[in-house]
């Protein structure tokens, strides 16, 4: 098991329930893929550093998790096909 962290930004037009549902969806992908979610840190709506597709703000969420090396590839695929995810990044934590 390796430790990873991911940050994703959701579109600001999402309602509060939709944001919570998206976070639960991504947690479910990690847990169903054999990983464990260590921490979920919801930062709320923040201004983006630069405009992306005419959007200036979004809902930021940081998730720390442990998993096998194949799970981040699947999580990346899920982020790419999910509507409303503006940006995402998955990083392997160094020891």
Number of domains the chain contains: 1
Q: Write down the pLDDT at residue 33.
A: 87
CB 71 within 8 A of CB 32: no
Domain region containing 46: 2-92
Q: Write down the pLDDT at residue 43.
A: 94
Q: pTM for the whole thing?
A: 0.89
Residue the block writes with tokens 């990690």 = 30
Q: Could you tell me which of 54, 83, 88 has the C-alpha nearest to residue 73?
A: 88
CB 61 within 8 A of CB 27: no
What is the overall mean pLDDT for the chain? 93
CATH of the domain at 64: 3.30.70.60
- Give the model confidence (pLDDT) of 35-75 as tens digits: 999 999 999 999 999 999 899 999 999 999 999 999 999 99
Residue the block writes with tokens 């442990």 = 66
């Amino acid at each position: 098991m390796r430790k990873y962290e991911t940050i994703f930004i959701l579109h600001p037009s999402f309602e509060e329930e939709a944001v919570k549902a998206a976070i639960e969806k991504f947690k479910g992908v990690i847990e169903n893929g054999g990983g464990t979610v260590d921490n979920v840190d919801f930062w709320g709506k923040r201004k983006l550093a630069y405009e992306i597709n005419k959007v200036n703000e979004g809902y930021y969420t940081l998730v720390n998790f442990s998993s096998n090396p194949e799970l981040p590839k699947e999580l990346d695929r899920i982020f790419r096909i999910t509507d409303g995810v503006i940006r995402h990044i998955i990083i392997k934590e160094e020891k």
